[in-house]
Chain A
Amino acid sequence: MSKQQIRQILQEHGKFPAGVDALADDADLYAAGMTSHASVNVMLALEDAFELEFPDRMLKRSVFESINAIHAAIAELTA
């Protein structure tokens, strides 16, 4: 699991107005333009790509707010 894979998913499903290439790993994805509905698509795409399911306790803004946060959440679920 790499941050580049996460970036690819965000690029395809996050609907960022300016794309994700210029986003730092700790950039706020919501501030960068990810809408609530886009975050649903991102979540489902991550679950599909990494064959996992985010439990309800992880359905929080802080889990999906940055590439680093998503990476850490996936690492926790796949440990």
Chain B
Amino acid sequence: MAGALRCGRRWGDSLRVGTDLVQIAEVAAAVARWGDAYLRRVFAADELAACRRAADWDIASLAARFAAKEAVMKLLRPDAASALAWTDIVVQRERSGAPAIRLSGLALPLARRAGLGPVAVSLSHDGDYACATAIANCRSLTTYPENEKGKK
């Protein structure tokens, strides 16, 4: 058959981005209602240490970290049957003060499967809302059509 389509495969890079918006009052209500049960299920020890104040919590910072976790989940794109704990995605602070993401547990195979590189994240909060955006390079095999003579 003339003009048969041949396809090749090659590694290609693309970007994935995720963003999330959280109502700070919802996090405040959850802390008030569930206390440690909420805090330990959602946040890692170093996240809680970063958000602890003398007699209370920096709720806006907790909310921003929750938004960051959700933003990273959107990069990982777990299907409905993939388990992922909120504490498998941890927001850390670098020496510069910039936020960084540490993946562990169930997040690691998801990131590997997706071909994700290091995740960059930015957090913010103002008034009633906290938000975060995460971005990562995604390296995956892509197909491309070759012409009938096999040229790329």
Which positions in A face B, CB cutoff 8 Å? 36-38, 40-41, 43-44, 47-48, 56-62, 65
Contacts and interface: CB of A to CB of B under 8 A. Distances in A.
Nearest to A43: B41
Interface in B23-58: 23, 26-27, 30, 33-34, 37-38, 41-42
Nearest to A38: B26
Contact of A44 (B22, B34, B80, B83): B34
Contact of A60 (B26, B33, B81): B81
B38 A40 contact: yes
A60 B27 CA distance: 21
Given A38-B26, A40-B30, A60-B83, 11 more contacts: A37-B26, A40-B38, A40-B41, A44-B30, A44-B34, A48-B34, A59-B84, A59-B86, A59-B106, A61-B78, A62-B80
Contacts of A57: 83
Given A36-B20, A37-B66, A44 B38 contact: yes
B74 to A, nearest CB: 10
A58 B37 contact: no
B70 to A, nearest CB: 5
A58 B20 contact: no
A57 B88 CA distance: 12
Contacts of A56: 83, 85, 105-106
B70 A36 contact: yes
B108 to A, nearest CB: 13
A37 B22 contact: yes
B96 interface: no
Contacts of B23: 37
Contacts of B73: 36
